[in-house]
Amino acid sequence: MESTFSSPAEVALQREAGVPGLLTPSADLDRVYELERVVGFVRDRQCQRVALQFPDQLLGDAGAVAARLEETTGSKMFILGDTAYGSCCVDVLGAEQAGAQALVHFGPACLSPPARPLPVAFILGQRFVALELCAKAFEAQNPDPTAPVVLLSEPACAHALEALATLLRPKYQDLLVSSPALHLPVESSNPESEPLECFGRHFPLAPGRRLEEYDAFYVGGSEANPDLDPDLSRLLLGWAPGKPFSSCCPDTGQIQDESARAGRLRARRRYLVERARDARVVGLLVGTLGVARHREALAHLRNLTQAAGKRSYVLALGRPTPAKLANFPEMDVFVLLACPLGALAPYPSESFFRPILTPCELEAACNPAWPPPGLAPYLTHYADLLPGSPFHVPLPPPESELWDTPDVSLISGELRPPPSWKSSNDPGCSALTPRPSLQLAESSPAASFLNSRSWQGLEPCLGQTPVTEAVSGRRGIAIAYENEGSS
């Protein structure tokens, strides 16, 4: 049963660290992992115990990096290489178990604020960017020099955006450069002058300007892997639908229009919203324990499903796999409460027997007041749904007419019933209906699911079987019982 609900221990022991033959040469470790900046980070905070978090593809270099940092700083280094959920989130729980005073995160990161205060340094990497090729691709995609365009990139290419903007600014008048939102403890005397933070990035907008006015040019991705990465999916879902969005491969300068992919992602989201509206039982998957406000978000989702007349179960299973989720066939949909990159991770839809939704899709399905007027409905982070966010929409009161609005399923074509608490409080229904014996007044979702199946196990036949004394049963093995004799 261990492998049914959680990953077996043998998998972690037998997994290889790093890719053989692709380890970073010793002479390039300082440049690739920015060890000089890490050493300055450790010395400035005078940390004696530091945790180093590596994703699976970089674990092959973890030992060499830790040894070099220990030799340079004199501090004790702990390698965190086995995260319970996603490697993009800061593993503050693992760092606390090691007694670390700070944490250094290597590789792609979602840049979500951690649940506990801990000094964190992000080493996003520095991927090679062919500036001349990317500049030519930008000019070919944006012939109008007066059109407002924002430069975006994957985290490993963020170091080259300013250099790319320097080549383009003599021709383009309205060019905006984004930067990763690293959540550094910077004191600001004027909060109004702080740049806009969205999609894990900072956008230094001019006064009176909005992000919805800009086209998008994304530097990142790979031609060999056409599948969308979670970071690009987050941008395509949240960007203004009417604005062009194009991506450029940093190695070859090959450009691609992402408008069609963005349309497919939004169509997929609308389909999942309909599935959530048809669902009666929702499984809430805990996908993070290190991102801030995850407990508040879990309580919000439970209240949301209860207000919509649905039942919900909280499941803490680690990373979702088809084998784990198949143990809960009574669930109609699953909702993964994780960081934006973890919630949008590409799961093969044909492997899971029930769809996996994001919290924003559940909000759109269960809150009749959604979407908020004048705000973008395509959100990707659960923190945008909580009180204090400009996108937060409170649930309507029970007497609101929004709960009584007729709703037809676009999947089955049937009229959806109102929430159960609305029908039970109807003052016009006062007649008592006799209920046959041996019928539960209220059953669990598992019992309701079992009742809907064609085969429900052995029939109890209560009251129909005559009472007899107990007798001795058969003895022996199945192929030769003692009372059967020899054949």
Which pLDDT score is estimated for 187? 43
- Give the Cα separation of 339 and 373 in Å (integer): 25
- Give the Cα separation of 170 and 145 in Å (integer): 10
Cβ burial, residue 243 (10 Å; 0-12/13-18/19+)? middle
Beta strands in 196-325 (DSSP E): 196-198, 201-203, 215-219, 245-248, 255-257, 281-286, 311-315
Cβ burial, residue 134 (10 Å; 0-12/13-18/19+)? buried
- Give the Cα separation of 461 and 468 in Å (integer): 15
CATH pick for 131-183+195-265 out of 3.30.70, 3.30.420, 3.40.50, 3.40.630:
3.40.50
Q: Mean pLDDT per segment of 10 residues, for the chain of length 487 residues? A: 54 53 77 90 91 88 91 91 78 88 90 86 89 92 91 91 92 91 56 74 89 91 68 88 90 89 89 92 90 91 92 89 89 91 72 89 90 66 87 86 83 81 53 54 64 73 83 84 72
**Residue type at 34 in one-letter notation:** E
- Intervals of CATH 3.40.50.11840 along the chain: 22-123
Which pLDDT score is estimated for 19? 46
Q: Residue 87: CB partners within 8 Å, gap ≥ 6?
A: 53, 54, 55, 56, 107, 108
Residues 279/330, Cβ–Cβ less than 8 Å: no
- Give the Cα separation of 125 and 107 in Å (integer): 6
pTM of structure: 0.79
Which pLDDT score is estimated for 49? 92
Into which CATH architecture does domain 279-418 fall? 3-Layer(aba) Sandwich (3.40)
Cis peptide before 371 (omega within 30 of 0): yes
Residues 239/215, Cβ–Cβ less than 8 Å: no
Domain 22-123 belongs to what topology? Rossmann fold (3.40.50)
- Give the Cα separation of 392 and 465 in Å (integer): 59
